[in-house]
Structure 1
């Protein structure tokens, strides 16, 4: 029996090697026929001896698993978006910001930005454990069964890989395979797919992995994530990933200056059309992982990376009409309804006109031929008007004065671009929008309740605000369109489970204008409860870290509403978390309140991120640069000489990691 096990193992290893040579290295060392014969031999051995079957065997590439509902999984480390740039000036500004924050020379890794579906792969002891879509960056869908069918994704690694790590990349569909798929669809009378990117993304959500296996998807990897990776910079990590068996594009380049970065960009702006995949730009990263750690993240993106977008494709088409949308805050957005036109692989029918000022600036009129571009190749926008094509009877656009939904006269504050409908509690899109925001993933994350169902609940008169959700019964929701017994049960359970969502996310979920995730977190940690927030004066709010006058005014205005206070009191009576729990308050003090602290260097006892969290947990503010307002600097090893010099010049105290931990009583 041990001979059979050995035979299966040897055949598996050989097939993995041939698979890697063909799909990753583009260097076939065996004919397709011989590969198929060996694969069939392995399938027969595994069928006769199922006790030796490996979940990551080469035979599992054909798929067969059917997934009706994709499990939602939280990313161990958030998948951030990237800030975009479109010119040399943008990149120089980015470089200037970097140079202010870190000492020494900076190298950059330049990589092509592939246009596909983002994926995060987790490997444990060299074996693929799970594959999760980007989702909202915090959590995504478990698509492991589908990703296992992609031949360029190694199921087992080789070499000196870490015991556990994530690697991020892009699932793409090569032009050749995409075109072949469309030829097959046209031949059987079906509509062709629109573009490779959407087709790749849609493939990951197919319920039958055997169908995914038929699609010629590829996985291009570019970023290692985790601790103790055994690498010191991004360029080295790409080479390591190749050695472990991943398909990592060879075109990456190490650059010593922004001029070298621009040389790379200019070359690929022309030659990208020769590539087998869609690409829409270049990703530039600070090469040193230590410098990356020092630079850290904003609330949305890493400071150490920038996406340079190639010039977007433009087309012209007719503007048929202008309509107006009402957002959850009452903001009015004018929308251009266009003669359908093909743009960057999709059919564009609508584009944002932003606000009244933009319409006036471009003098956009119904009937005009307009130039349309995909801003960042994502959201269509109108760049201008072809005046030579303007109809003789053209009339200037007059912006609406009343809400298109409830007919309330619109308001516009001095200095603001947007018009608003002030009918906060009586305008249907605002009511629906606020509840949709409340149930969203980053807010209350109510499982079983989507945006369309919210609209149905409001339109059927079952709810008028988000506190009404907690009085819904299964019997009330079952009659709704597309609602069955099981889905109704899931909705009610989802609402009940939302009572466990922590206070900072509840505060964000309330939908207070200008109070995003970061501001909600700041307010929650400072005031600890909803009662303390609503009792705070405008002056007191402005004194909270990063809370400006605009946010303070908005918070006070929200709590000045009797209806809002009634809703919050109802939420409290239903058991929603409107104060920080005892567990959340553990380790939280006001020892560092009012102090601005800079963290720099390499640390031994705790990581840089843990240090920053300790500062915030004790009421302090983490600052990225040294100034006269800096209270003190926590200095680790390899602190840059210019930072040290600046600290001495400004007479800012330097303390060691050990001294800081002692200061806050960390054990």
Structure 2
């Protein structure tokens, strides 16, 4: 198909062998700029169609980037932005929420089954009601279905499926997807509403998950979850950075309708709408069944996930006669694939860096069903185990779930690679050297490594640390990415204006977090020792160390100069003592601790037994208490036989609520029927047992 067939001006200088050097913007008149802008838009749309729809680009990527940058430069300089411009694909300002929009036509689900007899029954019903038919067979994409509405060829809106009658208006996000044309090509209808499937290509999904793991973020379970989570982002610039694509597969409504579905699909590429190459028209249901079986064999070779095939009546009049139920159109049927079970290939290996620098290799898998749960990654544990199992990228492996929770590679089922996977020599996050320690491997970057930094801050603020409610994984990542946290000590220099400038932070949440941090400037020694994240020093060991040494200075001096003396403390053996010594011997760790101590004064340990009046009770505290810190209250109840934990469960006896409490713990208490008491009620409860907080 020639460019002329697509109504594109062959004289456009930016179509074939376009220039990539341009005269300075300040030397252009507004009239010349407008003409160049129109030519660039027209050319870039054609290059997009060639790339996404025809898979036949006529310019190099570098040339395309130069044309795109020039268009953006001219639009910015002369105020020539337009909703249809290709530059809208770079995103825009975040929005507060999505508007709910009614669909042009209902987007119903499809009746489906994995049993062949159900497919034959569908065919019998169709032929019984409308006579002989042809079927259009298509892959059943495993993505997110959306409605795209074009008026006079321009993208008017893009809406998620929602409940089938109405969905979220995600137009600004959809404009960032390269295969969504802002303007249709050719001889398009004046009004066109089409149904498409937004998806993340498999290779792009694995690459994106690898990046997330190496940044210390939780990876997506499968491409569909990644797509759904992306398309509903409130910030279009985030969507623009993620690798989404679209296939179009149906007309919902149009000012000019074709007689058959196959004719519609044939017109889509002419309009710039991308369709799959795997479409077949058959006149017998057995051929449709054979098509499904062939697609099942080919699914692993496709660049996108499918979970079956869709069989549709081709003739539009027959479709109308068949009608629909309240839930699905009666002219279509999905013949599902069986779920992949336990055995799957390794696509890639990512390296995860833990809080202590421990390097954990993670296998990225073709998503597989393991015990009813979709798994797309599995632990390879350590280099020694990788060598023992002889595992590498490309091998087909059996995946199991340890304790029905953590997926791991059990064995290689089919060896399709040479040798076994080798860890990189340097950390993928900070480029520091990776060193072996027996069967384990560690990044030597310490707190200079962003992955360790994020996890260290998360742990410092966790229930096992200083229990800074409102500072979880997501918020820590946001603050680190915004440049507000470059060390643990930076927590104490956060300002309200910096927090409220971030997405999702209001005055109340900012003030609550700052109050939590302020309340943690004089923590009990045991809490502080645990919060530092010293290897093998959790809350219990930290409490024993606090009892033994009394002050942080005494503990640190012993750890640095006489580590053997630590072995006399309960829960501390030779290995733990050596780990504590090595922690403080690290210059990066020692400097980080010194920085924190400029803001924090750990309190001398006074945790002595006061009796067993509260034995058997479990307390959780939230918010700021008057006259004492939350940690002091925890130490008090523990000194009298109770347990003080950081999270509410069915075993909790009381949630004590102070000023500016966290909502999560209150919600958990209500869900578990845990009594909620304020500070006065807490003091009265202790007084009844003869315990005075003053």
TM-score norm. by structure 1 comes to 0.48
Q: Which structure has the larger Rg over C-alpha atoms?
A: 2
